[in-house]
Structure 1
Amino acid sequence: MTIPVTDHKRYFIDKLGISERLMERCLGEALSAGGEYADLYFESVTSTSLGVDESMVKTASQGISVGCGVRVLSGERTGYAYTDDLSSEKLLKAARTAALIASGPAKELMSGFRASPEGTSLYPVAGAESDTEIAAKLKLIERADKAARAYDPRITQVRAGINDELRRILVAASDGTFASDTQPLARLNVFVIAKDGANTSRGTSGGGGRVMLDFFEGDKSPEHFASEAARTAILQLDAVEAPAGEMEVVLGPGWPGVLLHEAVGHGLEADFNRKKTSAFAGLIGQQVASSKVTVVDNGTMANRRGSLNIDDEGNPTQETVLIENGILKGFLSDKLNSRLMGMPNTGSGRRESYHHIPMPRMTNTYMLNGEDMPEDIIKSVKRGLYAVNFGGGQVDITNGKFVFSASEAYLIEDGRVTRPVKGATLIGNGPEALKYVSMVGNDLALDEGIGTCGKAGQSVPVGVGMPTVKLDRMTVGGTGK
């Protein structure tokens, strides 16, 4: 049957010459050796990157990437091939290559596509790039450079950059899936170095999302991000060494949700649980956190960096409750793992590009609000650490152990936030740490739009968030007293 052609699909059908008949032929070839399921993932990405260093444009690039990935599933096995040549000859060859993992008579026959529902778009769609837009982007990072340098004479070095892309995808599958999307993404970054005598410190800030350039003309202006980066760097110049030992820890709202993402979120992805390599494997329905903890993954939030109208398998994204009042409710799944595990597909199949296979991934992952006032949480701490922002971190999915570096943190003494500290690391076990959550604030915030998640060599944009949270016990690494 011939399906309706939307603007998203028209790009591939009209401009790239990918007909419905050709897609059916490719899927037929992909299943010819006995595969259970096959899909085609067409992708076209136009991107721009600009960077200013020492108040001069140091980097400028534009790129276009077009290609298709063909996947065949047979049991737990995946066959995958891709091509940047969208001629019928190359597409059919890729389909035959992916089919090699299967053997025997075809288990599924291609019987035509079904129209996918077209819901409300979660983000604006940009047009073609122009020289005017390039000039406007350059002005944004020049403004950031100027604002950071003007913040304090101790700011000695500034780097600012902007990266944006327009990604078009079309997914056609043997189960009838036929879906497409056009996805904008933009991010502005500022990095500064501050010096005071022999003392040196660094600060970073940035933000964006699935937005247009006018996003950076509002509250999230270049000046806002520049001031945040500079403030953090100047603050660190006078910071004392962080204390070490087990103590109460308060996590601030917003970006500290990255700890939740890394220490807990990855362990709730279905592939790790199917293979029983996650610390959460086999624990659905059990208490895995404090009763004050509810964690969701939500790909349907307008303009957010991790949001998607459809995932990279053509399924609508959704809000998925992972942990509710401390009880583990479910995992994030894609087509492969939902089929093998007999669980619902949560629309979490994501991939970095047409070069890669999809796998279960997070979108925007955050902890829901509690009932405590943030100021009451601080007042409840006799001596502890208030971690406002984080830099890098590491986590072991198999046991949930993590180490995170705090880029902005303070001492809490007798219920008051006092001196800034440097060199603080948080050390713990994700599932264990959530059991020590004793207070959850009512000030949920999401990050500024900077998150990029890595898994199995693939990177995808994500969002994180949380309200102010108190953990009664956590190990803090530092060299102070």
Structure 2
Amino acid sequence: MADFVFEDSDLDAVAAERILSDTLRGADDGELFVERSSSEALTFDDGRLKTASFDTSRGFGLRCVAGEASGFAQSSELSPDSLKRASDAVQLVKVGHDGVMSEIPRRTNMSLYPDIDPTEDPIFKDKVSLLQQIDGFVRALDPEVVQVTATLSGTRRGIAILKQDGARINDVRPMVRLNIMVIAERNGRRESGYVGTGGRKPYDAITDPSIWQPMAREALRQAQVNLESVDAPAGQFDVVLGPGWPGVLLHEAMGHGLEGDFIRKGTSAFAGRLGDQVASRGVTIVDDGTLPGRRGSLSVDDEGTPTERTVLIEDGKLVGYMQDRLNARLMGVAPTGNGRRESFAHAPMPRMTNTFMLGGDIPQAQMISEMKDGIFASNFGGGQVDITSGKFVFQCTEAYRVRNGKIEEALKGVTLIGDGPKVLGQIRHVGDDMELDPGIGVCGKAGQGVPVGVGQPSLYVEELTVGGTA
């Protein structure tokens, strides 16, 4: 059987292992990360197939670690000469260093997703037909629909991680995604709604009519709600956050601050606080890369370490961090399977997988009934965060004013402003309706983007700063 990573190249596993052995002699850690991938994206817009792309790539990333220093080189040329040039470059970090090589990652038989290639099945014309069906279905729902954009995308990433002494870890990672955006118009005003879904699964798991038809109706509903929205107020308000995707606020506002590199360097607001009460009681947050088929899940991380369920905050107390191999070694702890990279062209660093808050016991309706004058934020767009301080700004794509325990007018232009460590202590209630997001998250850090999952139950947060349009 051909080697799926090295086939059709000038480099074979034997030559790669020989050069890697020379590279890592006297180092503390390192690996050869070899990848070949295929990806596609089809967009149906304005009643026609507007774009269709198909790409393939392959290459390697070679890393040599000595102490805190890492040498990294990458190339899309899979050949002994290219790998030898990379080896000569990365070895410079170990000049004068006589290290002891870290143990190779433990083996695992865990497999969280199927070995499939979404770019090959179903065939191209069936994918186009699906997008055409979605477009026609949405337009038939309501005459206010003026534009429908549907996008279908899939990837297959085959990777091999070569370590010292001939150790090798293979993984084949599929990913699919379906997005539907609807623009509706009323009396000259246009508003949009957006819904997406995806994960490490075959296309048929997201393309059945029982999946995409409710998505299409939901995107239209959001657009119609926004057509009725009024300018949002500004000031201090109690806010109820909806379940599921709004967990992206926690991901950004506190998740990055619990990654090992920021902790080790002391640049995180959570550095040196292990064991402290950092959140309200009842708040438990975990990072779990072992959920089958989820967007942020990995059988092994990009250093070959099996992923795991890491409890970060338990009943409000800070109990854990997310670690890659380098930062774990320097901090004297075990890696948690959070070493991730965007592709072979990037060095790994500690990153989140699926990060979410566990559910509590308070119904969302009870939270809203307690609000005298507040905001119900049921859906989120993007945001920004300062990892050092935890300060964030997030935009809400669907929000409502709440008065005397009743949901009233829809609001436009709602932004939530605060800082993550403080917000964790402002949580009054944790809902009983915990949900994971539908599989649409992409996390950016240091110029690298990786797929992630988020989630939470409904949350009652006291005295958040709301930036409005009024």
Question: Does residue 29 of structure 1 match 2:15?
Answer: no
Give the structure 1 partner of residue 318 of structure 2: 328
Give the structure 2 partner of residue 11 of structure 1: 4
**Which of 272, 285, 297 is equivalent to 1:295?**
285
Give the structure 2 partner of residue 133 of structure 1: 123
Give the structure 1 partner of residue 227 of structure 2: 237
Stretch of structure 1 that moved more, 208-217 or 448-457: 208-217
State the distance in 1 between where 2:353 and 2:97 align: 38
1:120-167 CA distances to partner (integer Å, 9 max, x unpaired)?
Answer: 421122148448522222222222222222232112112111111001
Report the AA paired with residue 37 of structure 1: D
Question: Does residue 388 of structure 1 match 2:378?
Answer: yes
Q: What SS class does the counterpart of residue 395 from structure 2 fall into? A: strand
Asked if 2 retains the 8 angstrom alpha-carbon contact of 1:293 and 1:368, the reply is: yes
Q: Output aligned runs, 1:55-454, within 5 Å.
A: 55-104=47-96, 107-108=99-100, 117-127=107-117, 129-130=119-120, 132-174=122-164, 177-218=167-208, 221-454=211-444
Q: What SS class does the counterpart of residue 104 from structure 1 fall into? A: coil
Shift of 1:115: 9.4
Asked if 2 retains the 8 angstrom alpha-carbon contact of 1:181 and 1:310, the reply is: yes
Q: What SS class does the counterpart of residue 12 from structure 1 fall into? A: coil
Asked if 1 retains the 8 angstrom alpha-carbon contact of 2:29 and 2:101, the reply is: no
Report the AA paired with residue 388 of structure 2: T
Aligned residues: 470
Asked if 2 retains the 8 angstrom alpha-carbon contact of 1:137 and 1:213, the reply is: no
Asked if 2 retains the 8 angstrom alpha-carbon contact of 1:297 and 1:366, the reply is: yes
Give the structure 1 partner of residue 43 of structure 2: 51
1:186-225 CA distances to partner (integer Å, 9 max, x unpaired)?
Answer: 1111222222123221211111101101112447623222
Q: What SS class does the counterpart of residue 20 from structure 2 fall into? A: helix
Structure 1 pair 152–24 and aligned structure 2 pair: CA distance change class (3 A): same
Report the AA paired with residue 301 of structure 1: L
Asked if 1 retains the 8 angstrom alpha-carbon contact of 2:117 and 2:174, the reply is: no
Q: Normalization by structure 1: what TM-score?
A: 0.93
Asked if 2 retains the 8 angstrom alpha-carbon contact of 1:371 and 1:442, the reply is: yes
1:208-260 CA distances to partner (integer Å, 9 max, x unpaired)?
Answer: 10110111244762322222222111110111211211111000000000000
Give the structure 2 partner of residue 38 of structure 1: 30
Report the AA paired with residue 448 of structure 2: Q
Give the structure 2 partner of residue 3 of structure 1: none
Shift of 1:105: 6.3
Stretch of structure 1 that moved more, 123-132 or 173-182: 123-132
Stretch of structure 1 that moved more, 90-99 or 41-50: 90-99
RMSD of Structure 2 on Structure 1 (CA): 2.1
Give the structure 2 partner of residue 465 of structure 1: 455
Stretch of structure 1 that moved more, 261-270 or 82-91: 82-91
Stretch of structure 1 that moved more, 19-28 or 184-193: 19-28
Asked if 1 retains the 8 angstrom alpha-carbon contact of 2:247 and 2:356, the reply is: yes
1:58-112 CA distances to partner (integer Å, 9 max, x unpaired)?
Answer: 11111111111000111111111111111122112212211122203653579xx
Stretch of structure 1 that moved more, 173-182 or 237-246: 173-182
State the distance in 2 between where 1:220 and 1:299 align: 27
State the distance in 2 between where 1:156 and 1:130 align: 33
State the distance in 2 between where 1:343 and 1:51 align: 46
Asked if 2 retains the 8 angstrom alpha-carbon contact of 1:269 and 1:332, the reply is: yes
| Unaligned ranges ≥5, structure 1 | 1-6
Shift of 1:265: 0.4
Asked if 1 retains the 8 angstrom alpha-carbon contact of 2:234 and 2:469, the reply is: yes
State the distance in 1 between where 2:453 and 2:120 align: 29
Shift of 1:177: 4.7
Report the AA paired with residue 449 of structure 2: S
Structure 1 pair 104–21 and aligned structure 2 pair: CA distance change class (3 A): farther
Asked if 1 retains the 8 angstrom alpha-carbon contact of 2:401 and 2:408, the reply is: yes
State the distance in 1 between where 2:385 and 2:136 align: 37
Q: Identity percentage over the alignment?
A: 46
Q: What SS class does the counterpart of residue 11 from structure 1 fall into? A: coil
Structure 1 pair 463–40 and aligned structure 2 pair: CA distance change class (3 A): same
Q: What SS class does the counterpart of residue 438 from structure 1 fall into? A: strand
1:287-345 CA distances to partner (integer Å, 9 max, x unpaired)?
Answer: 11101210000000011000010000001000000000111111111001001111220
State the distance in 2 between where 1:384 and 1:449 align: 29
